[in-house]
Amino acid sequence: MYELIEGKPLSAQIRLEIAEKVKKFKEERNRDIGLAVVLVGEDPASQVYVRNKVKACEEVGIKSLAYYLPAETSQKELEELISSLAADDGVDGILVQLPLPAHLDSKSALKLIPTEKDVDGFSENNMGRLAMNMDCLVACTPNGVMKMLASKNISLKGKKAVVVGRSNIVGRPMALLLLNADATVTVCHSKTADLKKECLEADILVAAIGKPKFIKADMIKEGAVVIDVGVNRGADGKLCGDVDFENAKDKCSYITPVPGGVGPMTITMLMYNTYTAACRRK
Ligand code: NDP
């Protein structure tokens, strides 16, 4: 019998804990914690994400500073804004909502975010530090997955973990976190020769692919822990993950649902990173 690892209740519990900590921080240091969120253009999905981030800030007592820039914003204008936020003492975290409009160079813009304010954890410094198992701000989605595993006391030491996907925002940092937690990690991607064989060896299987119901029941080892990061529209128009949940669930010891699994954890971990960034600043 499988057990669900649900993101919503865990996320709510962590947000309460963060709100307590933020309150204490404000009393002790007599200042707000500030998160600057920069959105360029009118992409509807990005607008929803930014709105949810602003709402989460309100919930935990973090001051959000949302900057809505028109789609035709120039590279220079964007970079001037990021530089001014970088220098602003009232700003603890800076987040540029991706993707940026095609005419903008996101790499060079993101480089202007100081490591200590990079609450998305995407910068070369934070990723490099993660790779070296050093203290850093960790990308929110994989960090949320680690909290989910910890919430069920799932031990990772010596376990075989397989991560399908190697993006800089999910798969790669996920693999590093699992490695840092003493799992034996295999990273799979679109060029992997025998994906099914690799997946069948996984005690912990993380799917971060972006293909609806791609991981089938016959790719899962009996009793595996399955974490589904994917958020897709299925053929029926409904939200679904990268794992064929209905057919796969009975082979798992634990599995995350979509929706209601990893998704709710991501913004909560952004709040956690913002609080952490504020604590680390002098
Ligand atoms: P990317 O498209 O950046 O990466 C997808 C990865 O999957 C790539 O590494 C790619 O390999 C690999 N892949 C693609 N096809 C195959 C295949 N046939 N076999 C094996 N590997 C394959 O996606 P993201 O990492 O950004 O996102 C992954 C999923 O997670 C998406 O559904 C996204 O919506 C979701 N997501 C959810 C979040 C949440 O909060 N829950 C947050 C972020 C993402 P290659 O490198 O070779 O191309």
The Cα–Cα gap between 190 and 166 comes to 9
Give the Å distance between the CA of 110 and the centre of ligand 1.
21
Catalytic residue annotation: 53, 97, 120
pLDDT(263) > 80: yes
Q: Kindly state the percentage of the chain with pLDDT values over 90.
A: 98
Nearest CA to ligand 1 atom 19: 190
- Report whether 267 contacts 274 (CB < 8 A): no
The Cα–Cα gap between 58 and 264 comes to 16
Which atom from ligand 1 is nearest to the alpha carbon of 263?
Answer: 41
Which atom from ligand 1 is nearest to the alpha carbon of 262?
Answer: 41
The Cα–Cα gap between 52 and 45 comes to 11
Domain span holding position 220: 140-263
Give the Å distance between the CA of 205 and the centre of ligand 1.
14
Provide the CATH number for the domain around residue 59: 3.40.50.10860
Residues 6+ apart with CB under 8 A from 220: 199, 200, 202, 205, 226, 248, 251, 252
229 CB within 6 A, ligand 1:
yes
- Residue 14 inside a domain? The answer is no
Provide the CATH number for the domain around residue 248: 3.40.50.720
**pTM of the entire structure?**
0.97
Q: Which tokens in the block code for residue 216?
A: 């089938």
Q: Which tokens in the block code for residue 62?
A: 């973090």
- Residue 13 inside a domain? The answer is no
The torsion angles phi and psi of 251, rounded to 5 degrees, stand at -90, -10
pLDDT(282) > 90: no
Do 207 and 150 lie in one domain? The reply is yes
- Report whether 200 contacts 221 (CB < 8 A): yes
210 CB within 6 A, ligand 1:
yes
232 CB within 6 A, ligand 1:
yes
- The pLDDT tens digits of the residues spanning 90-129 come to 999 999 999 999 999 999 999 999 999 999 999 999 999 9
